[in-house]
Structure 1
Amino acid sequence: MRRYGKHTDEDDIRFRPSRKGTRPRTHTRPKHEDASEGLVLTVDRGRLTVLVEDRTITAMKARELGRKGVVVGDRVAVVGDLTGEKDTLARIVRVGERTSTLRRTADDNDPYERIIVANADQLAIVTALADPEPRSRLIDRCLVAAFDAGLEPLLVLTKSDLASAGPLLHTYAPLGLRYAVTSRDELAEGSEGSAAEALREQLRGQITVFVGHSGVGKTTLVNALVPERQRATGIVNAVTGRGRHTTTSALALPLPPSTIGEDGWVIDTPGVRSFGLNHIQPSRVIQAFPDLEAGAAGCPRGCTHNEPDCALDQWVADGHAEPARLHSLRRLLATRERREGD
């Protein structure tokens, strides 16, 4: 029995050896100077498909990135097993600086913005001319998001065999948007001289993200542009929007080689039912209207550009910009305050 009290000596004292090593802990992160550069093609439940040189690999985000997100279109640095063989896993250790970020919120009351894609150059807003009917307010919201992100908008109208594109193009004519019109027959497999080929030329040398309401034929269009990588298409009820939504995650696909040597990427995204703009300040929208932006200097502070004392009315009256341009600006700004279904 061990003795305690005044007769205790050092042999009676129990102690637990320290498990800490003598090597001091360091906060210095490895530099990973041998990391390879890659492009994120898709993200699925924590696993990312990354293009490294001429092969695709599966990777995960390294712990040192912390809460920093990685999205489709990101340029990243990867280390580890880069063979791309089955059951191999690399690590993403750095995310490059983004040149653009396309964002949205779930709705106008949601304070948390979500990045849809990074480093895109242009936004293709895909809208069916019928079945389902065009949703102009959703188009307007996508335009606001494109202008805010610094992306070039491209209006892509599908199913022209069901309805004329004229009325919708007339509505957006004051904005000077680039556009393309396609029909279902033109997108059919094996068709020659189709609108898909003409559209493909507008995508050369660009990273283009496709956004649209479910059922507008967005994935069918992407399949026609990149026939080598067919994605499943499904049937969605044109009225309720319910059905089999076949695109569940964003996916970057390379355009087929061109005779002029320019490449390009298209990014297919899931169909959206709403496009919240809670993260966008209305003051930034006018930057997409350089002919009106200068006139806004005379507006009172906090002007919504739809008030009795807005200086833009006089700016237009003096001939500095077309009235239709001011109307378009105010229509886009109004979408910031309304839901698409209103």
Structure 2
Amino acid sequence: MNGTVYKSTGSWYTVKSDEGDFYECRIKGKFRTQGIKSTNPVAVGDHVGFDLETIGDETVGIITEIGERKNYIVRKSVKLSKQTHIIAANLDQVFLLVTLNNPPTFTSFIDRFLVTAEAYEIPVVLLFNKMDIYSEEEKFEVDYLIDLYTKIGYNCIQIEAKQGINVDKVKELMLGNISMFAGHSGVGKSTLVNALEPGLKLKTAEISEQHLQGQHTTTFAEMYDLSFDARIIDTPGIKGFGIVDMEKQEIGNYFPEFFKLKSECKFHNCLHLDEPKCAIKEALETNEIAASRYRSYVQMITGDEDNPYRER
């Protein structure tokens, strides 16, 4: 039988068969020795082959095959620093929810996420949530960030998930697609899913007043079929997002505004750090490239990216 993984809890996988039935499946042991570096050889969104076995009164599935992935979003494993964790696979797009505060989302985090998505050619839409709680000064800062990322080529939408404002714009982009919602805990991912599909009633939680950070309400990534011809993958809140499996020379290629100018650098292998006649450094001087983007790039190149909470 063939199907798609809808939920992963680490050792068990909920798989929806091509016929539309759900089965609880385990993985065949050999997958753990096939040189897959990730902590989870099977991820939500994977297309798998599985056999059914009857154990007592229960029928369970045994995953025997993992289909080739068209893409995936990967990050460093939280507990095993040398390994990776695949958040989801076979995506049409990702919505990254951003909040200026409660909790803060810094540009360094946004940029690392965008670089990973660019590497796997996954379109990202930036959703600036909680617009209703910001001061005029904070709204001005959101406008600045939207202008910055729109000029680079990213679709940016201001939303108020609790009030349902601009949720229709998100819904329109989701039609016919498999979308993933990502962001820190507390940015409003589950609230937005509930606004899109009230019947799901995903658990939400208030922000921790003490630390102004979100509390984890989604424990595992899970895919949902929605009533309007769309599928959504809701993910646990991501605190840090280190990039993985990238050479220093290729990181700049995943900054679209850098990639456009790199051919104008004097040296074809320019890392845009201290080299003479670097087109990226010149564009930085004239504000064609944002200082925050260049700072994020340098953090990635130098490996100074372990702390997700940095100055903007």
Structure 2 partner of 1:55:
21
**What SS does the aligned partner of 2:126 have?**
strand
Structure 1's 130 and 213: CA in aligned 2 closer, same or farther, altered over 3 A? same
Q: TM-score, normalization: structure 2? A: 0.81
238-247 or 155-164, larger mean C-alpha shift: 238-247
* Cα separation, 1, equivalents of 2:53 and 2:128: 43
Contact 1:226 1:255 survives alignment (8 Å): yes
**What SS does the aligned partner of 2:262 have?**
helix
Structure 1's 105 and 66: CA in aligned 2 closer, same or farther, altered over 3 A? closer
* Cα separation, 1, equivalents of 2:132 and 2:195: 17
* Cα separation, 2, equivalents of 1:99 and 1:118: 8
Structure 1 partner of 2:123:
152
1:174 partnered with 2:151? yes
* Cα separation, 2, equivalents of 1:335 and 1:124: 24
- Which residue of 68, 71, 84 maps to 2:43? 71
Contact 2:185 2:214 survives alignment (8 Å): no
- Percent identity, aligned pairs only? 26
Structure 1's 314 and 140: CA in aligned 2 closer, same or farther, altered over 3 A? closer
Structure 2 partner of 1:330:
294
Q: Deviations over 1:255-284 (max 9, x none)?
A: 322xxxxx3321111111111124333433
Q: Unaligned stretches of 5+ in structure 2?
A: none
Contact 1:175 1:325 survives alignment (8 Å): no
**What SS does the aligned partner of 1:252 have?**
strand
Q: TM-score, normalization: structure 1? A: 0.74
Structure 1's 128 and 180: CA in aligned 2 closer, same or farther, altered over 3 A? same
- Which residue of 77, 91, 95 maps to 1:120? 91
Contact 2:280 2:289 survives alignment (8 Å): no
- Which residue of 272, 275, 289 maps to 1:305? 272
More helix by percentage: 2
Mapping 1:9-48, distance limit 5 Å: 36-48=1-13
Q: Letter of the 1:39 partner, please give it.
A: T
Following TM superposition, by how much is the alpha carbon of 1:220 offset from its aligned partner in structure 2, in angstroms? 0.8
1:215 partnered with 2:191? no
* Cα separation, 2, equivalents of 1:154 and 1:333: 20
Following TM superposition, by how much is the alpha carbon of 1:213 offset from its aligned partner in structure 2, in angstroms? 0.9
Q: Unaligned stretches of 5+ in structure 1?
A: 1-35, 188-193, 258-262
Following TM superposition, by how much is the alpha carbon of 1:176 offset from its aligned partner in structure 2, in angstroms? 2.0
